[in-house]
Structure 1
Amino acid sequence: MIVLVQVLFTISILSFALVAAAADLNRTHATNPVWVPHARFHVVWQVATHIGAGLLALVVLWAPVASLPARFAIAGAIAGVVLVGFFVTAATMPLYGGELADSNGYRPLTLDIAGRTRTFDQNVLLFAGGVGFLLLAGALALTL
């Protein structure tokens, strides 16, 4: 059960430290010629910070540097700060004129569900999944 909890935490961490990083370090974001250079600087800085935070969380999670409950709590807190930060940023978009997607970037995902077309932002899906794995890992960790 301990390894399952570690794997679930790892999936949550990789959602922002690997998957989101790969999505941002390409022509849709970091090298997007339509973006102003300072915005590109900030996205690369954000990605570098997320990768660093993810690596720190993974080391704490997997290396025997403290008690297991402490390792789970610290790794979970690091992941939670990054993942919840996404939703705080999304919730405050009206304050700074932000949008979840860029017209020359990743398009929303369109699915046919029970005969109805549904549209989902890919960022929201990724980070909601990360939060879901984080909550599941935390819940299981509490049973140990």
Structure 2
Amino acid sequence: MIAKLLVSVGIVFYAVVVPVFEVNGSHVFNSAWEPHARLHEVWQLFTNTAIGLYSVWLVWGRSNLKLASLLTLFVTGGFLLAYWLRDGYGGSMVLSDGTEKLIMGMNMGLFAYALAIILAGVAIMIDQRQRSA
């Protein structure tokens, strides 16, 4: 049960929390963003939420923590790659009002998504041990 909860936390980050934070004037309804960029933002939000719903079904309906964790790695790892490569393409986590959302001095997205990957890894280890016992 604990392994399922750990994987679920990461899924909630990318499938629920991020859309809640981004469907507002700083992202989806940001008039400073090109319409094409806003379309890609909404596409990404719908895609990640759909992957999250599928992952929840995998965890709780099929007890397939490995695939759900792999999907979490793909979604959150994609963000981490974009974050680390941001200087190369002119990306930034600073919002249009000049602020950056931080947790303990670390960018909130970086913190949450790194945590999601760690939790998924711990969940897989717990699940492996339980299946071996």
Q: Tell me which interval the TM-score lies in, with the shorter structure as reference length.
A: 0.7 to 0.9
1:54 is aligned, of 52, 63, 69, to: 52
Q: Which residue of 2 aligns with 1:14?
A: 12
CA RMSD of the aligned region, Å?
1.7
Between the two structures, name the one with larger relative contact order (CA 8 Å, sep ≥ 6): 2
Question: Which of structures 1 and 2 has the bigger CA Rg?
Answer: 1
Shift of 1:93: 1.4
Quick one: structure 1 residues 76 and 110, their matched pair in 2 at CA, closer, same or farther if it must change by over 3 Å? Answer: closer
Equivalent residue letter for 1:120: M
Q: Which residue of 2 aligns with 1:132?
A: 118
Shift of 1:132: 2.3
SS of residue in 2 equivalent to 1:84: helix
Q: Which runs of 4+ in 1 moved over 4 A?
A: none
Provide TM-score, normalisation by structure 2. 0.88
CA contact (8 A) 1:28 1:105 kept: no
Q: Which residue of 2 aligns with 1:116?
A: none
CA contact (8 A) 2:12 2:52 kept: yes
- Equivalent-residue separation in structure 1 for 2:33 and 2:99 (angstroms): 14
Q: Which residue of 2 aligns with 1:24?
A: 22
Ranges in structure 2 where 5+ consecutive residues have no aligned partner: none
Quick one: structure 1 residues 106 and 60, their matched pair in 2 at CA, closer, same or farther if it must change by over 3 Å? Answer: farther
Q: Which residue of 1 aligns with 2:65?
A: 72
Q: Which residue of 2 aligns with 1:92?
A: 85
Shift of 1:122: 1.6
Share of identical aligned residues, percent? 25
**CA shift digits 1:108-141 (9 cap, x unpaired):** 3375xxxxxxx32121122122122212212211
- Equivalent-residue separation in structure 2 for 1:106 and 1:20 (angstroms): 17
Ranges in structure 1 where 5+ consecutive residues have no aligned partner: 112-118
- Equivalent-residue separation in structure 1 for 2:82 and 2:72 (angstroms): 16
Between the two proteins, the alignment pairs up a number of residues equal to: 130
Q: Which residue of 1 aligns with 2:109?
A: 123
Equivalent residue letter for 2:92: E
- Which structure shows the bigger proportion of residues in helix conformation? 2
